[in-house]
Amino acid sequence: MALVTLEEILRSTRKEKYAVGSFNAANHSMAEAILSVSEELGLPVILGLAEVQFRYVDLERFVPYLRQRIEGMATPVALHLDHGLSLETVYRGLDLGFSSVMIDASSFPYEENVALTRQVVRRARSYGASVEAELGQVGGGEGNLEQGTEADAAGYTDPSQARDFVENTGIDALAVSIGTVHGPFKGKPRLDLERLAEIRSLVEVPLVLHGGSGLSEDDFRRAVACGISKINVFTETSLGAAGALRELLAKGTPLGYPDLTTAAEKRIRDIVRGQLRVFGTPALKSV
């Protein structure tokens, strides 16, 4: 148990039709809030950190701390590098001890995406780590909290290309573009579930949904029913915690800094609990 790979933590998701939440932790406080829910409920989680969030932490200290924290837990947790944008970043992540890495070469032409992803898979195997890659374009930016983005169907994942991509790269999980965006959504999201089901029928590995902001509980449930195995969450916990602080400060009562972090962590825990319930994540007997 404790620290596991992405491949291990997602292994039963397709057969048993549930998803595991991947919650990004951009600092210690977020990480503790997320991991404490995993312990409290006895449920698996994926703890993520995206390259654009490296600026919030001292990575060389933070990742070993997370590894040690997770190794002491009874529930399975994958420690995942989210949206590594270069080989250099992903290789650094493997050296630091992430049990899973994402290489996001989705903005490159198809052949380059395949070539870069293959290199990462080869390297990750020697660490016993899993690899996620992305095909198609999920709009918006990681860490983009201000403006909403609209989904652009031109960037949606092509099902037959997805099959080719998975076969040619050997990845463990595939992030697909089916109508979500990173950061707040502008307008109302409409998931292309037919496309998702077609990809699911053609591709052997677990599928990942990035950019769940603005989706209803029913949207998530339908996405899971149509084959999503991993759901990335950051905007909701990040904005949720910030909202909790604003509400508290608006009351005007005297507060110390620990009162604020406690309130922020409580809000994150509430959101994580709610998401795990919606994703249908069960306790894992073994991985």
Nearer to Zn ion, 67 or 210 (CB): 210
Nearest to 89 by CA among 105, 110, 108: 105
Total interface residues for Zn ion by CB under 5 A? 1
SS3 content of the chain, % helix, strand, coil (to 5): 50, 15, 35
Task: Classify 191 as helix, strand or coil.
Answer: coil
**Residue 230 in the binding site for Zn ion (CB under 5 A):** no
Q: What would the two tokens of residue 246 be? A: 């604003």
**Binding range to Zn ion, per CB under 5 A, among 18-26, 64-72, 122-130, 202-210:** 202-210
Q: Which of residues 205-224 bind Zn ion (CB under 5 A)?
A: 210
Cα 59 → chain centroid: 18
CB-based burial label for 212 (10 Å; 0-12, 13-18, 19+): buried
Q: Give the nearest residue (CB) to Zn ion.
A: 210
For Zn ion, give the closer residue by CB, 210 or 230: 210
Q: Which entry of 82, 104, 172, 192 is annotated as an active-site residue? A: 82
Quote the least distance from Cβ 24 to Zn ion, whole Å. 9
Identify the H or E element spanning 186: none
We find the least distance from the C-beta atom of residue 193 to Zn ion, in angstroms, to be: 19
Is 172 one of the catalytic residues? no
Could you tell me the end-to-end alpha-carbon distance of the chain, in angstroms, rounded to an integer?
Answer: 7
Give whichever of 12 and 113 is closer to Zn ion, judged by the CB atom: 113
13 vs 235 by CB, closer to Zn ion: 235
So which residues are the catalytic ones? 82
Which residues contact Zn ion (rule: CB under 5 A)?
210
